[in-house]
Amino acid sequence: MRILGLASLLLLGFLQLSCAGGGSGNRKPKDHRNEIPASGEISGTVVKVIDGDTYDLLLSSNSTERIRLAGIDCPERTQDFYQVAKNRLGEICLNKTVKVRYKTRDRNGRIVGDTYLDDGTWVNEQLVREGLAWHFLRYSQDSTLAAAEVSARAAKKNIWSIPNPVAPWDFRSAQRSKP
C-alpha cells in the first residue's frame, strides 16, 4: 500500500510538471543576437510597442528583436505625452511590416536604428515632426530630425504645447539624482 501511494505521488508530480510546462518547455529562449550582423538592414513585423521609441520586431526566423528608434527620445512613463507617443507609435507601425536600418546595439542589447514603413515613411522623423519626440542631439546630428523638431516647436505640437517641456534625458538624470 505504501509503495502504491509513493508511485501515485510520483505520477502526480510528473503530470504537474508536464502540465505546468516543466521539462524542455521551460528552457530559456535562444539568444538570436549573434545571428544578426552588427550593422545592416532587417525587416519584420512590429508585434509589440514598449514605449514611444521602442518596439519588438518579429523576424522571419520567428525570433524577436527589440528595436530602439535612433536619434530621437520620447517622453518617459510619468512625463506628459508618454502615453500619446506610445499610442502613436502603435498606430503608425503595430502589426505592420517595417524595415530597420541600423549601425549598433545599445547597452541593453536593443538594435538602434531607423525604421521605415513600406510606403517609405521614416517613423523616427514622423514622431519628431508630430511633436512626440525630441531630436536626441547627443546621438544624432541629422539635419532632417533637427528641422522636424524646429517645425514641431514652432507649431506648438504635443510636447511643445506645454510650457517648459523637460527633455527625457534631463528627466532621467533628475530621477537618478533623487535620494
Q: For 38, list phi and psi in degrees, rounded to 5.
A: -60, -30
What is the residue whose three cell numbers read 507617443?
A: 85
CB atoms within 10 A of CB 87: 14
Cβ distance 158 to 130 under 8 Å? yes
**Are β-strands 54-58 and 40-51 bridged in parallel, bridged antiparallel, or unpaired?**
antiparallel
What's the CA gap between 138 and 67, in Å, rounded?
A: 19
Q: Say which of 65, 68, 88, 129 is annotated catalytic.
A: 68
Enter the C-alpha cell of residue 22: 516543466
Cβ distance 136 to 128 under 8 Å? no
Helix H or strand E encompassing 133: none
Known catalytic membership, residue 68: yes
Q: Say which of 110, 129, 130, 149 is annotated catalytic.
A: 110
Known catalytic membership, residue 110: yes
Cβ distance 111 to 125 under 8 Å? no
Q: Say which of 76, 101, 153, 172 is annotated catalytic.
A: 76
Tell me which residue of 109, 116, 94, 112 sits closest to 45, measured CA to CA: 94
Active site residues: 68, 76, 110
